[in-house]
Amino acid sequence: MAEKVHCSRCLREASAIENGIFYTPELEAEVREKVCLDCWNEWQRAEVMVINELKLNFMDPRAMPVLIAQMREFFALDGRPEGATPAAGLSALPPDVDLATPDSSDESE
């Protein structure tokens, strides 16, 4: 019999994740404890879209924290804003992240 969790995203009791790829051991423990298999499978599809939409380059050390922040928001791991519904969409970027490339106009001088 599969283990059950109370999912932070869909707010229902459902089957727990059996396997997956996680970014840190701490995040793995939290996701396994708080996310159901159905929502995990949705994240697997959404993760690709997030990487492509935000043009994340994993050679840039700023990319992984952005992806982790998007995952945490997707699963509502840090709580759900007042009045938000389960499975609400993702924001473009966390407010403290700026992936803009350095201004190249200084190089032309």
pLDDT 10s digits, 55-106:
999 999 999 999 999 999 999 998 866 556 665 555 444 555 555 544 444 4
Q: Quick one: which H or E segment has residue 95?
A: none
Angle made by CA atoms 18, 22, 26, in degrees to the nearest 5: 100
User: Could you give the CA distance from residue 77 to residue 106 in angstroms, rounded to a whole number?
Assistant: 41
pLDDT at position 79, please? 82
Of 33, 82, 59, nearest to 17 by C-alpha is 33
| More confident position, 20 or 9 | 9
Rounded to 5 degrees, φ, ψ at 51 are: -60, -45
